[in-house]
Amino acid sequence: MAAVELRFGAASGQSEPPNRPLLIVGQLPNLQKLPWEEISGKLLPQVSEEMVCERSDVFASGCAIARAFPLFSRRSSASRRTDKRVVTVEFLLVGQNNGPIEEATLECLASAADGIRLAARIVDTPCNEMNTDIFLEEIKMVGDALGIVPTIIRGEELKEQGFGGIYGVGKAAETPPALAVLSYLPEGATQTIAWVGKGIVYDTGGLSIKGKTTMPGMKRDCGGAAAILGAFKAAVKQGFKDNLHAVFCLAENAVGPKATRPDDIHQMYSGKTVEINNTDAEGRLVLADGVAYASKDLGADIILDMATLTGAQDRDNAQSSCAGLFIGAHIGFDWPGTWVHVDIASPVHSGERATGFGVAFLLALFGRASKDPMLNLVSPLGAGTDQHYAMSEGDGGMSKRRRLV
C-alpha cells in the first residue's frame, strides 16, 4: 500500500476504463439504488474503481478510502518494489442531487486524503525514524509547500523562555524538545484559531516507566500533532477565512540522567508551578505550555488541543476529565475565548495501523471557516453560528466567547 498514489475522479460513464481490477464500494442501500446501465460497461474485462454513495457522504467516503492506503512500510517485499501503482476512485452518486461531482469537490478530497495519509505515516513511523528533529522537518516541508516559515523554540531556549512543561518532559532525550508554530494569516480574518497538538514521538513513561506490555505502540503518542499538521495543510490549501495557527508540542519522554523525577517542580509557561507525581502524565504538561502560548502570544479566540492523552476510551471518564481540566487551568477558567479539548487516544489507530484520525474531524468541525463548499457542507455547525456571540454581563458589550466559527 505504501507505493500507491491515490486519485479521485468523477464517474467516467461508459468510457472504457484502464486495464485493472474493479472494486465497487458502498453501503448496501446505496448499491441497490445504482442503475445497471451506469456500471455494466465497467464490468467488462477492462474496469476501474467506483465509490457509490449519496452526495452528503462523499467527504466521509473519500476520507475512509484514504485511510485504507497507508504510506509507511518497511516490509522487505515493499522495499523491492520499484513500480508505483495508481488507484483512481470514481464516485457514482445515488439518491437526490446525484449529478456529476464538481472539480472543486475532487480537489477537496485530494487535499483531505493527502492530510490523512501524512498524519498516518507520521504516527506509523517508529521513533528511530521520527524523532523530534525529523518531525520538525515534516513541519518545515508543510510550511514550504504553503509558503509559511515556522516559528521554532527548542532545547535550552524552551527553558530560558519559561516552557517548563515541554522542556521538563523532553530534556532527557537524545534529540531536544521543541515548540513549533505554523501560522496562516489571511486578509479579512475576523478571529484567530489555534490548534495545539501533543507530539510525544515516544513515551516510555519516563522514570514512572511503562511495563513491557504497555510500552509497545507508544510511537503513536504524537497522533494529535500529526493530525493537526495534516489538517492545517489541507485547510490552508482549500482556503481558510480566519487566522489559523498550528502549535506543535514536541518531545520524547525518555529515561536518562536528566529525566524529570517524581517530586520535581516545573515552572510552566502560564506562570503556574506543577509538582510531578507521575512522569507518565506528560501529555498534559506539554499541552499546558502549548495552550498558554496560544492564548498569551498568539491572541487566539478559539483554542482546540488534540492529544492521545489518557486512553480515555479504555478508562474511566475521570481520567480524561482531570487531564483536560489540568490543561484548561493553564489558559484560565475565566479566559473569555472558547477552548476545546479532544482526546483521540483510541481512534488514532486500528490494530497495528494508524488511521490518520483527526484530520477529517478538524476539517469538518471548522468547515464553516473554510472557503471550500464541500467543507461548509459537511460542517456540523449551521450557518446561524457564524456570528454567534454570547453577551457578557457587566461589560456592556460582546465578549470573545462564541461558537467555533
Whole-angstrom Cα distance, residue 264 to residue 210? Answer: 19
pLDDT at 394: 42
Helix (H) or strand (E) holding 16: none
Helix (H, G, I), strand (E, B) or coil at 170: helix
Among 3-12, 61-70, 213-222, 254-263, the minimum mean pLDDT is found in: 3-12
Residue bearing cell 530534556: 171
d(CA 340, CA 250): 20
Catalytic residue among 55, 154, 219, 284: 284
Closest by alpha carbon to 269, among 289, 299, 249? 289
pTM assigned to the model: 0.87
> Is 171 an annotated catalytic residue?
no
Which residues, 6+ apart, have CB-to-CB distance to 218 below 8 Å? 200, 202, 203, 204, 210
Compute CA 96 distance to the chain's CA centroid, rounded to the nearest angstrom.
32
Angle at CA of residue 82, ends 138 and 142, nearest 5°: 15
User: How confident is the model over 190-246, as pLDDT tens digits?
Assistant: 999 999 999 999 999 999 999 999 999 999 999 999 999 999 999 999 999 999 999
Residues of the chain within CATH 3.40.630.10 domain(s) are 127-402
Nearest to 70, CA basis, from 360, 355, 361: 355
Amino acid at 28: L
pLDDT digits (tens, 9 = 90+) for 287-345: 999 999 999 999 999 999 999 986 434 555 556 678 899 999 999 999 999 999 999 99
| Higher-scoring residue by pLDDT: 50, 390 | 50
Tell me which of 3.40.630.10, 3.40.50.300, 3.40.50.10490, 3.40.190.10 is the CATH number of domain 127-402: 3.40.630.10
Nearest Cα neighbor of 222 from 77, 357, 325, 352 is 357
| Phi and psi, residue 43, nearest 5° | -90, 5
Contacts of 211 (CB under 8 A, 6+ apart): none
User: Which pLDDT score, from 0 to 100, does residue 388 have?
Assistant: 40
What is the maximum alpha-carbon separation in the chain? 73
- Cβ atoms of 113 and 64 closer than 8 Å: no
Residue 140 known to be catalytic: no
19 or 259, which is more confident? 259
Residue 272 reports pLDDT greater than 70: yes
- The active-site residue, picked from 33, 210, 353, 401, is 210
Residues 6+ apart with CB under 8 A from 75: none
C-alpha cell at 164: 517548563
